[in-house]
Amino acid sequence: MRIKILLLILFLTPISISSQQIISNDNKIAEINKMEWFEEAKLGIFIHWGIYSVNGISESWSFFNGYISHSDYMKQLDGFGAKKYNPKEWANIIQESGAKYTVITTKHHDGFALWNSKYGNLNSLKNSKSKKDLLTPFVKEIRSKGLKLGLYFSLPDWSYKDYTNHTNKIKRYSIKEDPKRWQKFLNYRDNQLFELKNRYKPDLWWFDGDWEHNAINWKSKELKKELQKDSPNVIFNSRLNEFGDYETPEIGIPIYRPSSKYWELCMTINDSWGYQQNDNNYKTPLQIIDLFVDTISKGGNLLLNISPKSDGSIPNKQKSILKELGKWNKKHSSAIYSTKKGIPYDHFYGPSTLSKDNKTLFLFVRDIPKDNQIVLKGISNKINRAYVVGNGTVLNKQLLCKVYWNKYPGISYLEIPEETLDPYYTVIAIVLDSPIKLFNKKSGAIEVN
Ligand code: GLC
């Protein structure tokens, strides 16, 4: 009998282990699949639109930090008219920029909702001069273009009566003292979120403000689970405590290639998230492309912010920056979308990306090369061809330091004709005979003779 039991255990054990492995492999595959569009998208447009655009003051923080009283801040409701709001134009501008997704502030920390919510008492239809649900028509236009939709939602709602914090000085209560009141707030939050989920079926949830409470108090894990019901592929940014699918660095672009697989840099177009008429510190198209190229060469996405005015128009300056970016993206699309992070700077003095099959390397050349040449080192493959992306001109190559008696692959000097230089970045495609092999051996003395 004992032997039989033992045999049975022995027989069953490997099966249970392998089925566990299958489950975790399945999970991994499911995760890779769900992140696929995000990884290929590279560029998203972030939109901060709310009543703060009326006075042109900082979104929510201006009253939280006491630069203006809450009641004066709320007076902006009467100026938020959205008279020139043209969601079709917004969607066109987003698409023309080359972005594949957008993330819009459905509700910032001030609690003002851009859709007609049944919950709470602060939204664009019931409480602002616009008297309109502003989110629904936008979602419709975005969908009609086949762009992916991200909804920004602030976990804190500093205006809501049952939320813990009102300003940095006024705390309404603590969760420990009054867990029931906190639960009331969570019910309100969840009701709003399920309303958004059911109405708009977002591809991405972009949470913000998780720093005000821990995952247990926010019920982050449970919330994620609920939002995934019937939408198993929905993606979460990292601001849901530790339950996000990707990292969300803000403004500070990583200097070193991040180790995390998925990440997205969110970035202002000037120095503000919301519209501020006094902020003219716009980044130039070249500076935006600098950030974009740096980001994609490190395997990330850029989520570039725009800030419409209270009348719903997008400032001309912002439109023209997106247009320039879009033109450059269109010309260089093969080097941008569906690529992955590039090679270390030891091989090329600049950013790069790689095609999915690792057989084409894209080099991003910012400045005017000296003697019209760029330098590529330590690539063990044969270079079949090098050409200017979006232009097609094939480059002359010169190979230096290649000797027959060792495997050191030498240094390639590639000549870019001056007339093919792009005003922003010139992109060079290096077509290899096989998936890229980076030479990482010591280059020693003679090996064969
Ligand atoms: C910050 C700020 C907020 C802004 C956001 C964008 O967390 O609180 O004002 O909306 O970042 O990333």
Q: Tell me: pLDDT of 446 over 90.
A: no
214 and 326 inside one domain: yes
Residues 223 and 293 in one domain: yes
Give 295 Cα–ligand 1 centroid separation in angstroms.
19
Residues 6+ apart with CB under 8 A from 116: 123, 124, 125, 126, 133, 136
Say if CB 307 and CB 318 are below 8 A apart.
Answer: yes
Whether 273 lines ligand 1, by a CB cut-off of 6 Å, is yes
Domain end position, chosen among 268, 301, 331 = 331
Residues whose CB falls within 8 Å of the CB of residue 213, separated by 6 or more in sequence, listed in order? 155, 164, 175
Measured in Å, how far apart are the chain's first and last C-alpha atoms? Answer: 72
Q: What is the pLDDT of residue 449?
A: 58
Instruction: Give mean pLDDT, residues 201-226.
Output: 98
208 C-alpha to ligand 1 centroid (Å): 7
Which structural domain, as residue segments, surrounds residue 299?
42-331
Query: In the structure encoding, which two tokens stand for residue 227, read together?
Result: 């939002």
Half-sphere exposure of 260 (CA within 13 A, CB side): 15
Q: Is residue 250 part of a domain?
A: yes
Model pLDDT, residue 22: 47
Are residues 121 and 253 part of one domain? yes
The domain that holds 406 is classified in CATH as 2.60.40.1180
399, pLDDT greater than 80: yes
> Do 234 and 353 sit in the same domain of this protein?
no
- Same domain for 226 and 152: yes
27 and 52 assigned to the same domain: no
Torsion angle of C-alpha atoms 266, 270, 273, 279, degrees rounded to 10: 170
Please say whether the beta carbons of 318 and 269 come within 8 A: yes
* Cα 209 to ligand 1 centroid, rounded to whole Å: 8
Is residue 250 lining ligand 1, measured as CB closer than 6 Å?
A: yes
Structural domain count, the chain: 3
Domain closes at, from 311, 331, 351: 331
Number of Cβ within 10 Å of residue 265's Cβ equals: 23
Q: For position 152, which CATH number holds?
A: 3.20.20.80
Instruction: Say what the pLDDT of residue 24 is.
Output: 63
Tell me the C-alpha distance between 140 and 133, whole Å: 12
Instruction: Judge if 317 and 279 occupy the same domain.
Output: yes
Q: What is the mean predicted confidence (pLDDT) over 22-51?
A: 86
Residue 129 lies in a domain: yes
Residue 109: closest CA among 66, 50, 68: 50
Residue 193 C-alpha to ligand 1 middle, in angstroms?
19
Q: Is the pTM of this model over 0.85?
A: yes
**Ligand 1, atom nearest to 61 Cα:** 9
Strands 235-236 and 204-208 come out as parallel
Look at residue 17 and tell me whether its pLDDT is greater than 60. no
399 within a domain of the structure (yes/no)? yes
**How many angstroms separate the alpha carbon of residue 310 from the centre of ligand 1?**
19
**Ligand 1 pocket mutation pick from 52, 57, 238, 250 by most atoms within 8 angstroms of CB:** 250
